[in-house]
């Protein structure tokens, strides 16, 4: 039974409402207030509940307003809401994905990629300017090893055809020999030459980097992700020296007994909290992502981005094990006199457990994409309706990605979760497959019955409870966008879209278009079109491409 569209709790508006305010008093006051309020063109009914005043909106006005708004604003529906009218347009730099060349593209990188992409999409939709940066692990001692390894095990053809896989294989092979003194020496020599900008060595390194980026771009494209800048640790060799000098000039760098450079971050300046920025053997200029070893390169990169982009906010998207790393990074920047460090933000996420492909552990991002596509193709082949799809492989990829993204975004980003292919790829229940299925179904409804014209719609035909449920839900879309824009959590949007899909599925059953009087059919078609439009908008924000056939 429908109680109300909006409720006002009496306890929240009474000045001295203490907890001993009796329930029957509140009920009485609710009744008194309800009797004094009058209905108008917006509110059609006012009643009192236990300690609440209940309001029901004029049904025809609701239908007319929502449908017109969705129709008029299109992909900007919800974004033009007054909720966002006071939010200033800003410039955001977002660093995400950031894999290490020649090493595994592990699941943490996958999470960073889809979360960073969501934050960037949301900010762009809300009218902010966004710079998407991929900060590659493209420097350091591992390139000494890789250079030596390539001389022994490398193959130029394989490097061109599948650089990520080939470099990884070479790296694994040379690592087996890494304990050998001669290999160690050769690797050190190779890296030293790199640091001294020896032309031949640099050109080998550059080839590793360029070919890897080319392949990354191709794979990111499958994910629907792009970057404005491929940066990396290699960019900051000289600038890292400048940072070192700044720290010394400001008297912030202290040497410990072991010869390590540290910055004192403790309040009492008693070295109780320090951050190591230099390693005593002088190899501090490449980053080691152990806890609390901050490299000059990270500091230099932050400063450089401010100079280059003069951003309002900079967001780093990495897993939560690096929280201390970023806290210290921001603190050191602040000690160096950069007040903008307060506008840096670390968006952290938990671990995914148990994601394996049929071939075993995930080594490359492409393994995950191929796996989800092949599993989805298999599922689609076993259902009756798949035969007519024009491009089943492309569709399987888009639906499979939706499944991955929705499973990942359902909880708080900071929580760890157990990954399950079976759960992610279910076609019923709260999954990305269900969102895609709903979108395709609503799309085919429009294809079958043509487009409804809003001007001809008689909203008096949309007064059934199932139609009203969809309309009321559409009305709330801006609140959900606002919540996600405040805490950068995609789960609000995910749960909104899943509910929308469930409500639309019920309405699709109980409010048939086919066989209804023309006027009724037009109105229902218009309702379903609005639901599909908002569903598509929300899916795109999450990084999902809606499919039209399934």
Distance CA 403, CA 406 (A): 5
Helices (H), 382-452: 392-409, 421-424, 432-449
Distance CA 387, CA 505 (A): 23
Helices (H), 476-517: 477-487, 491-510
Residue 255's φ and ψ, nearest 5 degrees, are -100, 135
β-pair partners for 215: none
Residues in contact with 506: Cβ distance below 8 Å, sequence separation at least 6, in sequence order: 466, 469
Catalytic residue among 109, 346, 473, 492: 109
Pairing of strands 352-353, 229-232: unpaired
Least Cα distance to 289 among 109, 120, 149, 488 occurs for: 109
CB 23 within 8 A of CB 65: no
The number of C-alpha atoms within 13 Å of 353 and in the hemisphere containing its C-beta is: 4
Least Cα distance to 421 among 357, 490, 377 occurs for: 357
Give CA 353 to chain center in angstroms.
19
Burial class (CB in 10 A: 0-12, 13-18, 19+), 486: exposed
Q: Is 508 assigned a catalytic role?
A: no
Pairing of strands 274-278, 352-353: unpaired
Give the tokens for residue 389: 């799809």
> Dmax over Cα atoms in the chain, in whole Å?
91
Give the tokens for residue 248: 């010394």
Give the tokens for residue 493: 């949007």
Least Cα distance to 433 among 405, 403, 406, 407 occurs for: 403
Residue 291's φ and ψ, nearest 5 degrees, are -55, 135
Distance CA 252, CA 328 (A): 13
Report helix, strand or coil for 515. coil
Catalytic residue among 106, 328, 439, 473: 106
Q: Is 106 assigned a catalytic role?
A: yes
Catalytic residue among 80, 91, 103, 334: 103
CB 85 within 8 A of CB 73: no
β-pair partners for 377: none
Number of C-beta neighbours around residue 14 at 10 A: 13
CA 302-304-308 angle, to 5 degrees, is 120
Distance CA 25, CA 529 (A): 47
Number of C-beta neighbours around residue 267 at 10 A: 8
Residues in contact with 317: Cβ distance below 8 Å, sequence separation at least 6, in sequence order: 94, 95, 96, 112, 115, 116, 119, 347, 349
Distance CA 476, CA 466 (A): 16
Q: Is 109 assigned a catalytic role?
A: yes
Distance CA 347, CA 334 (A): 19
By annotation, the residues acting in catalysis are 103, 106, 109
């Amino acid at each position: 039974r429908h109680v109300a569209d909006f409720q006002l709790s009496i306890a929240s508006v009474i000045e001295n409402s203490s907890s001993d305010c009796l329930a029957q008093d509140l009920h009485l006051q609710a009744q008194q207030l309800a009797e004094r309020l009058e209905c108008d063109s917006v509110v059609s009914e006012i009643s009192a509940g236990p300690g609440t005043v209940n309001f029901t909106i004029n049904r025809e006005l609701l239908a007319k307003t929502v449908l017109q708004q969705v129709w008029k604003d299109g992909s900007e529906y919800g974004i033009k809401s007054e909720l966002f009218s006071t939010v200033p347009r800003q410039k955001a730099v977002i660093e995400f994905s950031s894999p290490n060349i020649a090493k595994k593209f592990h699941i943490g990188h996958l999470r960073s990629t889809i979360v960073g992409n969501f934050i960037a999409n949301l900010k762009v939709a809300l009218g902010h300017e966004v710079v998407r940066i991929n900060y590659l692990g493209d420097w350091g001692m591992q390139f000494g090893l890789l250079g030596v390894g390539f001389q022994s095990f490398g193959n130029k053809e394989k490097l061109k055809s599948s650089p990520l896989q080939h470099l990884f294989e070479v790296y694994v092979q040379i690592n087996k020999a890494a304990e050998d003194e001669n290999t160690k020496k050769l690797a050190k020599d190779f890296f030293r030459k790199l640091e001294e900008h020896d032309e031949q060595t640099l050109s080998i390194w550059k080839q590793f980097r360029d070919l890897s980026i080319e392949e990354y771009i191709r794979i990111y494209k499958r994910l629907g992700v792009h970057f404005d800048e491929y940066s990396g640790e290699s960019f900051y060799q000289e600038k890292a020296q400048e940072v070192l000098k700044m720290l010394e000039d400001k008297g912030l760098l202290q040497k410990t007994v072991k010869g390590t450079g540290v910055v004192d971050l403790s309040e009492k300046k008693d070295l109780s909290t320090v951050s190591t920025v230099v390693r005593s053997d002088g190899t501090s200029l490449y980053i080691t992502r152990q806890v609390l070893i901050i490299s000059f390169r990270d500091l230099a990169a932050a400063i450089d981005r401010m100079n280059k982009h003069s951003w309002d906010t900079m967001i780093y998207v990495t897993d939560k094990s690096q929280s201390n790393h970023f806290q210290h990074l921001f603190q050191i920047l602040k000690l160096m006199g950069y007040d903008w460090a307060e506008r840096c933000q670390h968006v952290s996420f938990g671990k995914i457990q148990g994601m394996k492909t049929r071939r075993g552990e995930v080594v490359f991002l492409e393994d995950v994409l191929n796996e989800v596509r092949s599993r989805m193709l298999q599922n689609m082949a076993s259902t009756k309706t798949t035969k007519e799809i024009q491009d089943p492989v492309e569709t399987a990829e888009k639906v499979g990605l939706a499944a991955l993204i929705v499973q990942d975004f359902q909880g708080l980003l900071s929580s760890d979760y157990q990954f399950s292919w079976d759960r992610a790829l279910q076609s019923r229940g709260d999954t990305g497959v269900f969102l895609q299925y709903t979108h395709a179904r609503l799309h085919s409804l429009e294809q079958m019955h043509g487009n409804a014209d809003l001007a001809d719609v008689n909203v008096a035909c949309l007064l059934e409870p199932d139609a009203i449920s969809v309309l009321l839900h559409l009305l709330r879309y801006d609140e959900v966008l606002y919540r996600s824009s405040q805490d950068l959590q995609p789960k609000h949007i995910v749960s909104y879209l899943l509910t929308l899909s469930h409500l639309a599925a019920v309405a699709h059953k109980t409010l048939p278009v086919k066989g209804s009087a023309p006027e009724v059919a037009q109105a229902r078609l218009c309702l379903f079109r609005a639901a599909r439009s908002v569903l598509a908008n929300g899916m795109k924000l999450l990084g999902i491409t809606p499919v039209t056939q399934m």
